Amino acid sequence: MSSLMKEKAKILDREGISRSIMRIAHEIVEKNKGIENLCLIGIRNRGVYLAQRLAACIKGIEGKDVLTGALDITLYRDDLALASGQPIVRKTEIDFDINEKILILVDDVLYTGRTIRAALDALIDFGRPKSIQLAVLVDRGHRELPIRADYAGKNIPTAKNETIEVRLSEIDDLDEVVIIDKDNDK
């Protein structure tokens, strides 16, 4: 699909992504004064890989493991009927109790905020965390709900006909973040 859309610019390369993640890891540890009761929950798909990378960084800083989970929000989306293509339902894997924990939601791109709203809905069914914070690699603006990121790798103002693609070597061929011009064919 991306061969028809024009790649406008590369915003982050491999080193850039890695440095952003490292900085976010430090900020998380700083803001929460350590990692007690902390856990990372990645939003499928790429949020999960980012959460794993963050966990590795945090282990490097604090010397201890951080609980990590994966959340699939497909069933909580507010646009299931309108979604183009089949929303694929994947597994949610949170094997620990989230009550009284400080949850860090991790996602690749923050745009309208509806994904995060869906994630908050999903998490309420799992328990009552002490607090929920949000870490994203890219914040591209255009919020449609009152949601904000506590930690952002990069703030990139975009136009509505553009889209941001985060590619991670865990499932794409390489690490990079690009802006893409979508074809205006409506």
Q: Quick one: DSSP state of residue 14?
A: H
**Rounded Cα gap, residues 1 and 147, in angstroms:** 30
CB of 126 to another protein, least distance (A): 7
**Rounded Cα gap, residues 31 and 34, in angstroms:** 8
Closest CA to 163 of 20, 11, 54: 11
Q: Which is nearer to another protein, 54 or 105 (CB)?
A: 105
How many other CB atoms are found less than 10 A from the CB of residue 4?
8
CB of 49 to another protein, least distance (A): 18
**Rounded Cα gap, residues 22 and 93, in angstroms:** 25
CB of 179 to another protein, least distance (A): 20
Rg (CA), the chain: 16
Q: Which is nearer to another protein, 1 or 33 (CB)?
A: 1
Q: Which residues bind another protein (CB under 8 A)?
A: 1-4, 72, 75-76, 80-82, 85-93, 121-122, 125-127, 183, 185
Q: Which is nearer to another protein, 18 or 45 (CB)?
A: 45
CB of 25 to another protein, least distance (A): 28
Q: Write out 55-74 in H/E/C secondary structure.
A: HHHHHHHHCCCCEEEEECCH
CB of 182 to another protein, least distance (A): 11
Q: Which is nearer to another protein, 16 or 126 (CB)?
A: 126
Q: Which is nearer to another protein, 58 or 118 (CB)?
A: 118
